[in-house]
Amino acid sequence: MFKGFSQSGKTLVVLVLVLLALGLMMISSAGIIEGQNKFNDSYYYFKRQILFGVLPGLAIFFILSRIKYEFWRKAALPILLGAVGLTVAVFIPGVGQAIRGAQRWIDLGFFSIQPSEFLKLGLIIYLAALFSRREAHSKDWSYSLAPFAFVLAFILFLLAKQPDVGTLIVIVAVGIIMYFFADGKLLHIFSVFAVISLIIGILVWIAPYRLNRVLAFINPSEDVRGISYHINQALIGVGTGGIWGLGLGQSQQKLNYLPEPAGDSIFAVLMEELGFVGGVSVVGLFVALGIVLTKIAKKSRDSFGKLFCLGLASWILFQAFMNIAALTGLMPLTGIPLPFISYGSSALVAVMAGLGIAVNIANKS
């Protein structure tokens, strides 16, 4: 399996397999009650995560690890346009699927895909290609900031329409981080950050449910049966686990108390069952993944490989931080899944595809 793999490539594969196994273990536990209540199948989420997430994700991971990564630089624009096209398709009647008022999915009959997850990967590939070609002009806004800002603005418009502010924040963060590593001008970075922050502030202000999340973060003890219900149930789970946890499968919060226990809230279940030790171990795995990707970036033989790996690390780590911080009361809830751990096939396949490309970069360095 590791024939032709570098040491960094092998380490990356091992970390991916460990995170996949941990994710399946937690989904099998966290989703058991909700699966039984909604689908009359205790292992509904577990089986679908394997069938539509893990198996295709592993296949894509190993296939892309064998494809020369230079191909993605040449195909960056078509890939981004394809991802944008899929994201636009969610608004087409009969194609897009709305769930709880959010228009984020494409209904394929027996399963759905969430194009915004692949949009993250497409944007990272495109920005890595764009900034690696424009290095000599990185201080000139017409060569670096203008195309970057235009692409980002259009993507943010699509995400705001869905609406998906959590993904919007992740994409903005990844884009700004990649622009910084591409030696972008600090004035440009601060300008983009200021404008996007204002837009996000307006989006939060005009949507009562988003504003309620901020209010619940500021004062979680107020309206514990209403706007603060979710965060309070998450904190109960996190606190109940103590140092060692109640034991795998022993969570009480997943018994119809905690919303989306197998999805965005799964880290609270993990902390309840595996305790502080389990939570720190998960954080450690993500940190290790980020360190390996950073090492691959440093050893990359060209700027595209470097920027891609740094963008990929930023995506995974920032999204993991947002999820964990929200469920431990360090920031407002955003509805962002925890990479590898939360239920969701599109998110898993997209991350696995990106990591497959990173393995090839490691092997060619």
pLDDT in tens, 9-52: 899 999 999 999 999 999 999 999 999 999 999 999 999 999 99
305 pLDDT higher than 90:
yes
Per-residue model confidence (pLDDT) at position 144? 62
Query: CB–CB of 355/286 below 8 Å?
Result: no
Per-residue model confidence (pLDDT) at position 5? 81
> Counting every residue, how long is the chain?
365
> Which tokens go with 302?
């060209």
- Mean of pLDDT values over 320-329: 95
Dist CA 20 CA 38 (whole Å): 25
| Neighbour-count burial of 260, counting CB atoms closer than 10 A to its CB (0-12 exposed, 13-18 middle, 19+ buried) | middle
Dist CA 333 CA 264 (whole Å): 9
Q: What is the mean pLDDT of the chain?
A: 90
Q: Which residues contact 27 (CB under 8 A, 6 or more apart)?
A: 45, 46, 49, 262, 266, 341, 343
Percent of the chain with pLDDT over 90: 65
- Mean of pLDDT values over 170-184: 90
137 pLDDT higher than 70:
no
Bigger pLDDT: 310 vs 156? 310
* Residue located via tokens 């009959």: 109
pLDDT tier for residue 2 given thresholds of 50, 70 and 90: low
Which DSSP letter does residue 336 get? P
Q: For the whole model, what pTM was predicted?
A: 0.94
